[in-house]
Every structure is written in C-alpha cells, then in structure tokens.
Amino acid sequence: MTEQTQNITQSQPAPERPTQDQTESFQAKRHSKPLLTIGQQIAHMKAKGIAFELCSEEEAASHLRTKCQFFRVYAYRKLFPKHVGGPRDGQYVNLDFGHLKALSNLDRMLRDVLLPMTLDVEHFAKVRLLAAAEDHGEDGYALMLDYYASRSEEQRSYIESELDRRMKDPYVGAVVRKYRYDMPVWAFCEVVPFGMFSGLVKFCADRWEDEDLQDVHYLLKYTRSVRNATAHGACGVNGLTDANTRMRPPASLVNALTSTEVPKRLRAKWLRGTRMVQMCAMLHLYAQIVPAGEARTERERHLTSLFAAVRSSDVPVENPAVAALLFIERLTKAVGLLQ
C-alpha cells in the first residue's frame, strides 16, 4: 500500500454502527414475510381464493407438514389466472389446493424421468465420442496432448485444478491418480465434469470436421442445464411457458421437427422459453444417440406413465402447464421416442 493510499484510507471515517432502532427497522423490512404455521398457510391460501374441495383442509395440512413445504407447492399458483375487479379482485380463478398437489406430483414425475435421461445422454455421448476417435484412427494419449495444447493457459489451469481436486474423490480418485500425468481420452471422459467433457466433444468435432458431433456438443449444453435442475429438485412445470425473447431452439431440433407432424405454429408457440427449449433439446438428443435397449425402453415407459398422469390429472387441460406437457408428449412422438 502506498503512502498516498494509506493517507486516503486513514482520512476516511469508519462507518458508524447502526442503532438498535435502525437494526430492528431494517430487519422488519427484510423479514416482511414471516414463517407461517400450517394453519396460517391454509388461511393465507383461502384468503387468496384457493378452495379445498378436491383436497380437504385436513388433508392439505397433513400434506404440507409431511410431504411438500408450502413455499414449493404454492409456487404452482402462478399457472392460474386471477380475478380482476369486483369483490374477488386479486383472488385466483377456479384454483383448488388439489390442483397444486397434482402439479407438484407431475413435476416430480417429470424430474424422475428427465434426470436419468440426462445421465443416459452423457453416457452415450462418451460412447459416441470414443467410437468416432477409433474411426479416425486416433491415439488416445496423443489426442489428449493435442487437446491440452489447444487450450488457453487459463483453461489448462482450470483442468489441472479440477483433476487435482478429484484425486481424492472416493469414486473417480483411483483413476485420476493412475493416469494423472498421462491421461488417455477414455479415462478423461470418465473423471471430468459434464461441462469439461462437452468442451472435449467440441474440440474433437472441430478436429474431425464432424458436423453431427458438433450438434451433439451444442445439445449437450441444454442437457447439462436439465441435469443440474432436475438433480437439485428444481420446479420445472411452473415455468414451462415463461417466454424468453433471447432463447432460440437449436437448429438441429427445428430441422428435425420440420418434416414431422408438429406444425410451425405450435413450434413457434411453445419453443420460446428457456426451460421448454432445454428439455425438448435434451429429448431430441436422447432420441439421436441412445440406442434401443433396456435403458431406452425404461425411459419410454416412464414417459408414457408421465403423460398418462397428465391426462388423468384433476388440473384442467387448458392449464398452461398441462398444455405444455402435452406438447412435450407430441414432440417425443415426433422425434421417435414414443409411438
């Protein structure tokens, strides 16, 4: 620190500690939404016009205490309109707690099928990459040396630090320690995170001028986002229809749907939100690279169960979440996942 900087620092008065009244006032503003008891949660929902006919108040109380917290199940209310004007101004229209329960359950089913599908995609993308490496006569060690050389100093530093961190990992540490300073491509694929693997796919696609593999790389970005969201239990269906003007569906997905029975009007309507585009892109990639077999058959069975639950749900078919899920069903058929 220079003398001038020291003088400036010393000349600046230390910030004053807030008074007790100021602290309490600030906390009151920050904590304007206190933790509600189960009874208060139900009373709050009733004040918002939410009925308890499909699900009694007693059943709702039990659900909120043992199955799903209020903040989460209440998030699906945004899928229902509100009254404007009149004695019920601001209250929800035809919304029952049973609808919130049903949407929460559909969201869980959606996560339960999408997460293993993303893991399948990651696995078969690695298989696809190694098969292409063999087809191009690559040496697995020399390929990785060229990959490292192509990275910037900052990128190489990140890769090295990630491998160092994983040397003590109970699952992949043994592989990292064995190949740490001379790692072949097949070992690298198994020990690095999803994003780093995707970068290797991009390098190889450019190296081999493989347009199909380049499409895989770009679609893996969407798959990674879906994997992260579903693995952390994030709500999905409450934002399927949220539009994002900067989001465009990948060209490979659009091209694949052009020759199907999904009309342009529907593609334009639904493929304009981040969550919807990410999920549909992942499903498209799944259909491309996951071969017929036990894994694919099981995922198709779970998808069929999900869409059957959507159709039999108490939630009206015109609800935006239900309509969005039915579009996803149509897309899975268009890309060849379901009959």
**Partners of 92 in beta bridges:** 82
Specify whether 82 is located in the same domain as 108: no
Q: From residue 3, how far is each of 6, 11, 12, 13, 14 by CA, in Å?
A: 5, 12, 14, 18, 19
Token code pair at residue 193? 């995170």
In a domain? residue 277: yes
97 vs 101: CA distance, rounded Å: 6
Asked whether the predicted pLDDT for residue 19 surpasses 90, the reply is no
Asked whether residue 65 falls in the same domain as residue 109, the answer is no
pLDDT, tens digit (0-9, with 9 covering 90-100), for 39-90: 999 999 999 999 999 999 999 999 999 999 999 999 999 999 999 999 999 9
Using CA of residue 256, residue 258, residue 262, residue 268, what is the dihedral sign?
positive
Question: Which of 25-29, 65-69, 214-218, 231-235 bottoms out in mean pLDDT, i.e. has the lowest?
Answer: 25-29
Whether 220 is in a domain gets the answer: yes
**C-alpha count within 13 angstroms, C-beta hemisphere, residue 81:** 8
Q: Are residues 66 and 198 in the same domain?
A: no
CA pseudo-torsion sign 129, 116, 118, 306 = positive
83 lies in the same domain as 143: no
Residue length of the chain: 339
Residue position matching structure tokens 């999408």: 114
Co-location of 211 and 290 in the same domain = yes
- Whether residues 80 and 144 share a domain: the answer is no
Residue after which a domain boundary falls, among 49, 76, 95? 95
Pair of tokens at residue 90: 């601001």
Other Cβ atoms closer than 10 A to 167:
14
Angstrom distance (rounded) from CA 166 to CA 267: 42
Q: What is the mean pLDDT of residues 138-165?
A: 97
Q: Is residue 130 part of a domain?
A: yes
Question: Residue 310 is encoded by which pair of tokens?
Answer: 């959507």
Averaged pLDDT score across all residues of the chain: 92
Of the pLDDT bands very low, low, confident and very high (cuts 50, 70, 90), residue 145 is: very high
Burial 171-186 (b: 16+ CB within 10 A, else e): eeeebbeebeeebebe
Instruction: Note whether residue 187 is domain-resident.
Output: yes
Range of the domain at 86: 36-95
- 220 closest CA partner among 187, 255, 196: 196
Q: What share of the chain is helix, strand, coil (3-state, %, to 5)?
A: 70, 0, 30
As a whole number, mean pLDDT of residues 14-18 equals 65
Positive or negative, the CA dihedral 248, 253, 256, 257 is negative
Number of domains in the chain: 2
Is the pTM value of this prediction over 0.85? yes
> Of all residues in the chain, what percent carry a pLDDT higher than 70?
91
Single out the residue in 60, 79, 95 at which a domain terminates: 95
- Do 202 and 216 touch, CB atoms closer than 8 A? no
Q: What pLDDT is stored for residue 186 in this prediction?
A: 98
Asked whether residue 75 falls in the same domain as residue 177, the answer is no
pLDDT per residue over 81-92, tens digit each? 999 999 999 999
Work out the widest C-alpha separation in the chain, in whole angstroms. Answer: 76
Specify the residue for token string 């585009």: 277
**What is the pLDDT confidence band of residue 1, given thresholds at 50, 70 and 90?**
very low
Least confident interval from 30-34, 253-257, 286-290, 316-320? 30-34
The Cβ of residue 74 has, within 10 Å, a number of other Cβ atoms equal to 19
127 and 219 share a domain? yes
Cα 256 from Cα 36, distance rounded (Å): 49
105 CB neighbour count, 10 Å cutoff: 15
Phi, psi at 47, each rounded to 5°: -65, -25
143 and 284 in a single domain? The answer is: yes
Domain boundary among 95, 112, 128: 95
Q: Residue range 18-31: average pLDDT?
A: 62
SS in 3 state form for 278-317?
Answer: HHHHHHHHHHHHCCCCHHHHHHHHHHHHHHHHHHHCCCCC
Q: With bands split at pLDDT 50, 70 and 90, how would you rate the model's confidence at 2?
A: very low
- Are residue 152 and residue 81 in the same domain, yes or no? no
Contacts of 170 (CB under 8 A, 6+ apart): none
